[in-house]
Amino acid sequence: MYQGTTPTKFGRHAVAEPLRYDLFHFHHGTPLTTVDHEPPVPVLDQEDLLAQGIHTSQLVPGAPDVDALGSCTCNAGTVSLLERMTAKFGPQGFALPSIDFVTASETDAVASERFAITLYHEVTDQTGDPAQEWPPIDCGSTGLYVCQELITRKLITSYRSAANVDAALELLLEGTVIMGGPWFNAWMEPDAHGFVDGDGSLAALEAAVESGVAGGHETCLTAIEQITPSPVIRVRNSWSAAWGDHGSYRIHESTLRYLGSHVDYKQFVI
């Protein structure tokens, strides 16, 4: 993930992916269809924490109270985890530790945000350098670290890492996929149709690149809304339900194809 400089909204810590070819998912040519894996939890908000009644000092020992965190990786991971667990176990019958709800029917944005924050603390511990963990600093993280921590906590058994956008959309047919990559200044507000990338053309992406990189960002692919003339993907963000299209944005498959290996895709295996 891009190692940006923005203290909140974004994940900033870049690490090399281990050579685990057994976890790769390659594209097998499965025909795309429209799908919708809307997660069973409201849109999260990694900012305005105090207004939500969330005090980070009460959740993580040694953490000061802050109003925002660069915990996008863990917000996206929490949303995807709940969707994947619900898909396997149904709306009842599972519990997440360190969170004040028991079943999926009782989830809410604040409870899930609390879980994401405690997960963020544990995920940043994997840096191996206390000076580069949260707390003391809001260091950001990666989708890889989220996967590894969820395996450690026995909430998932493994994960699949898509080799490219074709493989990622093939995984999306089955369930949500977390996606990390660069986030451009031009993408901060979607257009009237919910797109961050305009018409999905190369020229639109080049203009976004020219606007500058705001940071590295992790979000959650939830739906393929359109197949022709080119695929359109709906993506859940964690900047509140007031942002974008009720908290989500749309992006063209072509944009992700242009970005190539600069985008990382992972799907949890429960």
Query: Residue 78 maps to which CATH number?
Result: 3.90.70.10
For the chain, what percent of residues have pLDDT higher than 90?
A: 76
Residues in the chain: 270
Residue range 61-77, pLDDT digits in tens = 999 999 999 999 999 99
Q: How far is C-alpha 44 from the geometric centre of its chain's CA atoms?
A: 11
220: three-class secondary structure by DSSP: strand
Q: Report if residue 14 sits inside a domain.
A: no
- Please report whether residue 84 resides in a domain: yes
pLDDT: is 208 or 92 the higher one?
208
Query: Is pLDDT of 2 > 80?
Result: no
Q: Which residues in 131-157 are b (16+ Cβ under 10 Å) and which e?
A: eebbbeebbbbbbbbbbbbbeeeebbe
What is the model's pLDDT at position 101?
Answer: 41
Position 233 in a domain: yes
Query: Which tops the pLDDT comparison, 95 or 53?
Result: 53
Per-residue pLDDT tens digits for 105-143: 445 888 899 999 999 999 998 877 888 889 988 988 999
What pLDDT was estimated at residue 129?
82
According to DSSP H, which parts of the chain are helical? 56-59, 72-89, 109-124, 143-152, 165-172, 202-211, 253-259
User: Do 193 and 202 form a contact (C-beta atoms < 8 A)?
Assistant: no
pLDDT tens per residue, range 182-199: 999 999 999 999 999 999
80: left (phi over 0), alpha (psi -120 to 50) or beta: alpha
* pLDDT of residue 232 exceeding 60: yes
Residues linked to residue 264 through DSSP beta bridges, in sequence order: 180
221 is a domain residue: yes
Confidence band for 8, pLDDT divided at 50, 70 and 90: confident
Pair of tokens at residue 158: 């493994």
Residue 224 lies in a domain: yes
Query: How many Å apart are CA 222 and CA 237, to the nearest integer?
Result: 10
Q: Is the pLDDT of residue 145 over 60?
A: yes
* Residue 90 falls inside a structural domain: yes
Cα Dmax for the chain: 52
Q: Please list, in sequence order, all residues whose beta carbon lies within 8 angstroms of the beta carbon of residue 242, skipping any fewer than 6 positions away.
A: none
**What is the average per-residue pLDDT within 199-207?**
98
Q: Residue 224 — φ and ψ, nearest 5°?
A: -105, 110
Give the count of domains, the chain: 1
Single-letter amino acid code for the residue at 226: Q
pLDDT of res. 244: 97
By residue range, what is the domain housing residue 42? Answer: 25-269
The pLDDT score that the predictor gives to residue 4 is: 46
Q: Assess whether pLDDT exceeds 80 at residue 36.
A: yes
Instruction: Say if residue 212's pLDDT is above 50.
Output: yes
Mean pLDDT of the chain: 90
Residue-level pLDDT at 130: 84
Q: Average the pLDDT over each of 84-88, 124-128, 210-214, 240-244 and give the range with the smallest value.
A: 124-128
Handedness of CA 83, 159, 228, 255 (dihedral sign): positive
In a domain, 7, yes or no: no
Q: Tell me whether residue 2 is in a domain.
A: no
Q: What pLDDT does 13 receive?
A: 58
